[in-house]
Structure 1
């Protein structure tokens, strides 16, 4: 009887946790939209235009780097420099950057002789930069011409340490890519809006984030041994009481994985990076001053536990189908619960896509594709977390986190 009660408890946890978080995200994102996004907003007029140093770390990005740099050069912001950080590329990336540098005075290149990883490259870029604001983007990103205006406008507050932008998927030819279009709108965007309302953002978007240089140095720069630089630097800044903001008008067009293997590697890296941050910053529980980070920390730990329980119950269910164990039937989404969760997910997707219609008129059309998210991505994300958590917990820290070029999908232009 005791075993049965535990199974029932775990079954309810698998159901109620995503249900509760979906409701929180819908409420938070709706409030953020009504309070800060609704209505037409003009590009902010700035009293001054501080120099922005755009840092672009790159390794083996010969297919993407030229168009990325050219997109930044079309920015309407009048005062910026571009520093491309070539992390010992083995293709023609360095040659392409040097060609651009020879013809464009706003572009500089730092050639690293050894593959040291993205965090180390960003450290070099921060030291070489001349601007008071550092805008970090990925080597496959197309920056919107007005993105810098929107991001710089937040730094009029003295305690603003970073501003994260709004990544938009630009390759939409495959089912995986189309689902991710909806994911960035209905999941990632809604979470960032909610966390901003609650006061603490789990992570900036590594593909587009602006930092106050003073804050970056105050936090000790990027840690070179972390798999994901964006989550860790966010926590380092917030532990130093710098404010992190989300600016949905700061658009950046990105490529997402379009193969299962590429998506798997991306989600394993995200999961491992998140667990590494949980491991490194567990000292926040020792200080009452860090209490505003406790809910963010706890929610992430609960999501890790959910992944393990979800996979465990799935295994028990499969075993019950093939071999009688004597355990009761495991129903992850039984009877009315499955219908309720499906309805809440659909409502969340509808709200997220409706909010993002302000930035893409055609985005509600992706509702048909994003409804497949719970079936495919919940399982993939859970498996990635179960696989990555032990790697993060038992990984020997201190060694530089080097990188390989991710799956960029089908390379397309806007």
Structure 2
């Protein structure tokens, strides 16, 4: 059954990937802006007030700077304006509203646009209870340090949020970090003039409860109590921290004032101001709806990414523990149960397509094996001198079979049909075998339940940073992951570079499948579903040539990843099967999907979140998290290198691997998933060879 893949060029998914990353980046930027992580600065009072008119510093707490001379307004005598800053807050605003309702008074809530967008229902409740909504900028930024553009953004964003949440506009603005009129300095006056140019009134306070300091209920009540009968505006807070003292103080302050004949109300009620608000038009309301939706989506994405960072850390730690534990079990088992050699002859199959630069080294290394071997080279329609080189070498025990180009799987099936031995070893046309590779592979078949054996492939061309990165990846993958798969009896892949099989077992499952791009993974899974064990032999060393450019690496990993997805889908029913198939389905397949598909798909946005955390959030926590990930990779890497007898020096390239190599692997996975979802069938990807798969 030979179904050839349709050679259709896959669509590029860079636009989709870029759009997703840009959208996530934009949402994180929105959240960072709203939480004060971008472009915020709080200025200390300068003390200089040479530009502040005396009327503003000595007048009422409500300032209208729009005329030639500023006009100020204060509450009438024995009238007390309650105001609350920084909300709405889902915990404390409702409690404060309950206190106000219990004493039948109204207040003015100076809300931030960010909190309005996060909790529009609370704003609606404030309005429904008859309270006044006023403006406290969007991000609680200090308008004394904000330029004209930032001020405009702060005002407009809150306007939009209020338009949707409260169906209101307001001219009342309390600048964050503002105090009494007497505290006005030159930067604060410039900010007030900007507000006036935009048609706004600046609302300061006459009394500051200092509740944000949490000085105690008695102190808050004392700070909030007027010293005379002159009207006053009180500053309190309904957000920004624990406000239990504020709630308790309010429950004492209001009845005390009422008992002394004070009228408690909103800023407009106590000052007599009119025309301080209105209804927004439909376009403004729709803009508010869009803003609220974006803010809430940004909150969700940020929270999800924070969860993912924590979950990824936990999963990485559990994976490290699992891999190291199973590695220890495998090492002890190998030392205890090393199989003795077998005398069964072995056929080595070498599928070759345009391998002129490496085929001679491959054949000579196979013939140096310390085991009787016959070699079958299957030339799959090469367009270079590969078949001529093989023929001209006239090597003993080497047969050449030529066929029209049909792909690697078809070439292997041709070799299986021509083989005359039960044990076959399959290697790539650029593989260089160690002399002990074939005998150690064959020895594993003393166990009659073993159907295939994975060898230990090593990178031969390690020069350069790209070679070192692949060397690290191969050592960790073969010496830890395959040991784990062996112990858990769920080996997903016997690599094409070096692997051994029972010929009868392969033929029983229909030969090497030709309907995926990962024929090695497909065949391994098929054997396990047929009841065979697949094991790992770390002493069966082979050297392979790794891609030497990023473009070649992309082609190779794209094919591997896409082929793995095809194989997982093809053998998905193993999840419900028993025996060796069930172990593959319930252990191997989930592990593959989690660590080779899901986490890499999510990794780019997690990296973006980490970058934003470094720039706008807790840089120490973000750095420690990143170092934790690095440590979780370094510890297994050191153990793998020591088990494989490798020098540790290449691991110095591991930190840099996080910034380049890992990102490329992420993109490969995302491109592969997108290709699989879109249903595109990929042609065979042939890599350029340089004949560098030599022993190091």
Residue 329 of structure 1 and its aligned partner are, at CA, apart by 6.1
Secondary structure of the residue that 1:249 maps to in structure 2? strand
Secondary structure of the residue that 2:400 maps to in structure 1? strand
Cα pair 1:67 1:142 within 8 Å, conserved? yes
1:291 paired residue number:
582
Residue 142 of structure 1 and its aligned partner are, at CA, apart by 0.7
1:325 paired residue number:
none
Cα pair 2:451 2:505 within 8 Å, conserved? yes
Q: Separation in 2 of the partners of 1:15 and 1:224?
A: 38
1:84 paired residue number:
377
State yes or no: 1:229 paired with 2:519.
Answer: yes
Report the CA distance shift for 1:225/1:396 in structure 2 as closer, same or farther (over 3 A). Answer: farther
Residue 332 of structure 2 is aligned with which of 26, 34, 39? Answer: 34
Cα pair 2:476 2:637 within 8 Å, conserved? yes
Q: Separation in 2 of the partners of 1:134 and 1:350?
A: 34
Q: TM-score, normalised by structure 2?
A: 0.53
State yes or no: 1:305 paired with 2:598.
Answer: yes
Q: How many pairs align? A: 394
1:9 paired residue number:
307
Q: Separation in 1 of the partners of 2:612 and 2:679?
A: 32
Residue 108 of structure 1 is aligned with which of 395, 399, 419? Answer: 399
- Max Rg structure: 2
Residue 277 of structure 1 and its aligned partner are, at CA, apart by 1.3
Report the CA distance shift for 1:333/1:167 in structure 2 as closer, same or farther (over 3 A). Answer: farther
Give matches, 1:321-332, under 5 Å. Answer: none
Report the CA distance shift for 1:61/1:200 in structure 2 as closer, same or farther (over 3 A). Answer: same
Residue 409 of structure 1 and its aligned partner are, at CA, apart by 5.5
Residue 288 of structure 1 and its aligned partner are, at CA, apart by 4.4
Q: Separation in 1 of the partners of 2:643 and 2:528?
A: 27
Residue 382 of structure 1 and its aligned partner are, at CA, apart by 1.4
Residue 291 of structure 1 and its aligned partner are, at CA, apart by 2.7
- Greater RCO (CA < 8 Å, at least 6 residues apart): 1
1:411 paired residue number:
692
Q: Separation in 1 of the partners of 2:612 and 2:656?
A: 25
Q: TM-score, normalised by structure 1?
A: 0.87
State yes or no: 1:138 paired with 2:428.
Answer: yes
Residue 297 of structure 1 and its aligned partner are, at CA, apart by 1.0
Residue 104 of structure 1 and its aligned partner are, at CA, apart by 2.9
Mind listing any 5+ residue stretches in structure 1 that lack a counterpart? 323-327
1:337 paired residue number:
625
Report the CA distance shift for 1:145/1:338 in structure 2 as closer, same or farther (over 3 A). Answer: same
Q: Which moved more, 1:25-34 or 1:210-219?
A: 25-34
RMSD: 2.7
2:72 paired residue number:
none
Q: Separation in 2 of the partners of 1:330 and 1:410?
A: 49
Q: Separation in 2 of the partners of 1:297 and 1:332?
A: 37
2:459 paired residue number:
169
1:63 paired residue number:
357
Report the CA distance shift for 1:55/1:395 in structure 2 as closer, same or farther (over 3 A). Answer: farther
Report the CA distance shift for 1:178/1:7 in structure 2 as closer, same or farther (over 3 A). Answer: closer
Residue 340 of structure 1 and its aligned partner are, at CA, apart by 2.0
Mind listing any 5+ residue stretches in structure 2 that lack a counterpart? 1-117, 119-298
Q: Separation in 2 of the partners of 1:351 and 1:222?
A: 35
Q: Separation in 2 of the partners of 1:144 and 1:274?
A: 28
Report the CA distance shift for 1:170/1:291 in structure 2 as closer, same or farther (over 3 A). Answer: same
1:355 paired residue number:
643
Give matches, 1:366-405, under 5 Å. Answer: 366-395=650-679, 403-405=684-686
Report the CA distance shift for 1:169/1:349 in structure 2 as closer, same or farther (over 3 A). Answer: same
Report the CA distance shift for 1:177/1:49 in structure 2 as closer, same or farther (over 3 A). Answer: same
- Deviation per CA, 1:353-404, whole angstroms, max 9, x where unpaired? 11111xx5xx22322234433333322211110001122344367xxx7534
Cα pair 2:613 2:622 within 8 Å, conserved? no
Secondary structure of the residue that 1:372 maps to in structure 2? helix
